[in-house]
């Protein structure tokens, strides 16, 4: 009985990531099909629309958006829109937060995740990422020589996290890649392989 249970758990561990990935793709595809498809049905004649056309158009629009994003005029318009949004108090905070988060998890973004580290708090070790080496808070003394870093501690559901400004000697670098460290956070540590931990100097 124990052997069957172990086989069952191994099957879940193997199938769960695949099932979750497929479910997310289906959910996103269904959302795009629902939104874009409804718009197309309003524009096109009834006999022109085919199931899946909304999803295909949505993917095409996404690709086209990526292509035109490099055009100077588009960048200028986007910058103008951002400056307008920055003047609206509540909308500004929400927009900037979403923008920073999108850049944070972008591979090619300027705000890509920093080097993975281990942070110890009250006897617990947390996985974080150094986002700024010489970090200072606005209320720090200008002539302060305290050597501290800004460490981002992501949440497991990848929507937010916490930023800690702490002394450099409280941070230990992890001998793993950034992607592996992030996967460990998202999976509750199940994908973290043993590695060397050395004190940062």
Tell me the three state secondary structure of residue 105: coil
Predicted confidence at residue 107, as pLDDT, reads 47
Predicted confidence at residue 95, as pLDDT, reads 75
DSSP per-residue codes, 11-77: HHHHHHHHHHHHHHHHHHHHHHHHHHHHHHHHHS-GGG--TTHHHHHHHHHHHHHHHHTTSHHHHHH
Predicted confidence at residue 47, as pLDDT, reads 77
Predicted confidence at residue 113, as pLDDT, reads 63
- Averaged pLDDT in 10-residue chunks for the chain of 201 residues: 78 82 84 84 80 84 77 75 81 71 54 76 86 73 71 74 84 82 74 53 42
Cβ atoms < 10 Å from Cβ of 126? 15
Predicted confidence at residue 130, as pLDDT, reads 87
Predicted confidence at residue 94, as pLDDT, reads 73
């Amino acid at each position: 009985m124990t052997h069957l249970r172990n086989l069952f758990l191994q099957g879940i561990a193997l199938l769960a990531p695949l099932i979750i990935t497929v479910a997310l793709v289906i959910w996103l595809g269904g959302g795009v099909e629902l939104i874009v498809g409804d718009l197309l049905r309003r524009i096109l004649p009834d006999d022109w629309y085919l199931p899946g056309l909304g999803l295909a158009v949505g993917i095409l629009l996404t690709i086209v958006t990526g292509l035109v994003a490099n055009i100077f005029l588009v960048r200028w318009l986007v910058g103008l829109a951002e400056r307008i949004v920055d003047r609206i108090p509540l909308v500004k905070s929400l927009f900037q937060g979403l923008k920073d988060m999108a850049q944070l998890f972008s591979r090619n973004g300027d705000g890509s995740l920093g080097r993975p580290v281990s942070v110890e708090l009250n006897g617990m070790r947390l996985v974080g990422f150094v986002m700024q080496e010489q970090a200072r808070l606005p209320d720090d003394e200008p002539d302060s020589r305290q050597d501290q870093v800004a460490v981002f501690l992501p949440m497991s559901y990848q929507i937010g996290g916490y930023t800690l400004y702490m002394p450099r000697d409280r941070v230990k670098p992890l001998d793993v890649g950034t992607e592996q460290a992030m996967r460990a956070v998202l999976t509750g540590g199940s994908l973290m392989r043993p590695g060397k931990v050395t004190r940062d100097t």
